[in-house]
């Protein structure tokens, strides 16, 4: 058996971690798997969620700390690294401060970890907006640093549209897979599994129905005004393109983000789930005039109902919205394992973002 010992920075609640835990490959009786050795995040509730659902068995290996204060020498050796560095400064939903923002330079800790551990491979994730930040110079700089890190790496960069991999959500993310240059292997982008038949919001929330008393299923209390506003918004519409009586219209002069009071369309994948924001950004049911529960949001992110998000409801929502969809992560990491196992799989040419869509 070949087991890749993985470390993870900015692990969050464990979307990428669950994908890694599920990913497996086998050839000629030899199994290839991934085992978490340690994981790091600075959010206390996210760390507790990761411990509960992912492990490792030793709870102390899930380290709740500022990554900037980590001493990599104190951590166990690894041969695989994952890091979905925080995307707030590149996201269309945020202020888009880019690499000079508070979160923009956090990728450097991934580079530092690669320099220290020299893993056989790594996977890094960020939002689509990273590609266009600073007219593309930021993304070019990040790629150059990752290529030169440690002994040097061959990068495969792809814009993954996760609805093409069974995730019931139009969530588009840049994923970078790096293989060490001295390893004579090349990672190829796995072919989509549901390119022409994406899973819909209705299928995600109703097949099967969500059972009573599952974790994170508490409903949000809606005001009468919000309920009445939602009654005038049709499936797929939002507060700006629906015909709403004046007494229920939003009196806002700022940018009209399409997520505001946007209702799901039952026969399409959900729009992108977000982890932060105030009223109007929670995601709304296509039939009932209400916000989605955290469990419904988790289903749209492809988390199983057995995956419990710990902490207050706003914290759980943030953990869900910030996560990598585990089903998408599993597809990518399974392809990594197949690459090392020498298994041929269907692949596609890397896709680059051609324009920024604020909904994804």
Active-site hit among 11, 47, 64, 87 = 87
Answer yes or no: are the C-beta atoms of 291 and 284 closer than 8 Å: yes
Answer yes or no: are the C-beta atoms of 309 and 48 closer than 8 Å: no
> DSSP string spanning 58-116?
SGGGEEES-GGG--GGGSPP-SEEEE----TTT-TTS---GGGSTTGGGHHHHHHHHHH
Structure tokens at 282: 């929670």
Distance, in Å, from the CA atom of 26 to the CA atom of 190, rounded to the nearest integer, reads 17
Residue 87 bears catalytic tag: yes
> DSSP string spanning 293-320?
PHHHHHHHTT--TT-PPPSSHHHHHHHH
Distance, in Å, from the CA atom of 18 to the CA atom of 135, rounded to the nearest integer, reads 34
Distance, in Å, from the CA atom of 162 to the CA atom of 334, rounded to the nearest integer, reads 15
Buried b (16+ CB within 10 A) or exposed e, 6-34: bbbbbbbbbbbbbbbbbbebeeeeeebbb
Please identify every residue annotated as catalytic: 87
């Amino acid at each position: 058996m070949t087991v890749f010992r993985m470390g993870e920075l900015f692990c969050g609640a464990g979307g990428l971690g669950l994908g890694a835990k599920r990913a497996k490959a086998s050839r000629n009786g030899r199994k290839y798997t991934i085992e978490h050795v340690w994981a790091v995040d600075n959010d206390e509730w996210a760390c507790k969620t990761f411990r509960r659902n992912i492990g490792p068995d030793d709870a102390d290996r899930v380290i709740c700390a500022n990554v900037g204060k980590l001493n990599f020498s104190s951590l166990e050796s690894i041969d695989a690294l994952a890091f979905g560095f925080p995307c707030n400064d590149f996201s269309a939903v945020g202020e888009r401060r880019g690499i000079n923002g508070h979160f923009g330079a956090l990728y450097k800790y991934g580079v530092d970890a690669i320099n220290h551990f020299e893993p056989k491979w790594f996977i890094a994730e960020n939002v689509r907006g990273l590609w266009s930040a600073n007219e593309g110079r930021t993304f070019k700089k990040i790629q150059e640093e990752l290529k030169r890190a440690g002994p040097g790496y061959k990068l495969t960069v792809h814009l993954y549209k996760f609805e093409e991999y069974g995730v019931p959500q139009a969530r588009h993310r840049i994923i970078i897979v790096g293989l060490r240059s001295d390893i004579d292997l090349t990672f190829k982008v796995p072919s989509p599994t549901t390119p022409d038949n994406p899973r819909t919001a209705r299928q995600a929330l109703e097949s099967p129905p969500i059972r009573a008393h599952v974790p994170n299923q508490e409903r949000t209390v809606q005001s009468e005004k919000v309920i009445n506003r939602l009654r005038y918004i049709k499936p797929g519409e939002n507060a700006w393109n629906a015909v709403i009586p004046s007494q229920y219209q939003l009196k806002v002069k700022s940018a009209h983000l399409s997520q505001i009071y946007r209702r799901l369309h039952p026969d399409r994948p959900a729009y992108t789930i977000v982890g932060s924001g105030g009223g109007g950004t929670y995601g709304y049911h296509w039939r009932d005039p209400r916000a989605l529960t955290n469990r419904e949001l988790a289903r749209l992110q492809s988390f199983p109902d057995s995956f419990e998000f710990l902490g207050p409801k706003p914290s759980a929502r943030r953990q869900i919205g910030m996560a990598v969809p585990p089903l998408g992560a599993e597809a990518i990491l399974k392809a990594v394992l197949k690459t090392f196992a020498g298994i041929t799989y269907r692949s596609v040419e890397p896709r680059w973002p051609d324009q920024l869509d604020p909904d994804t």
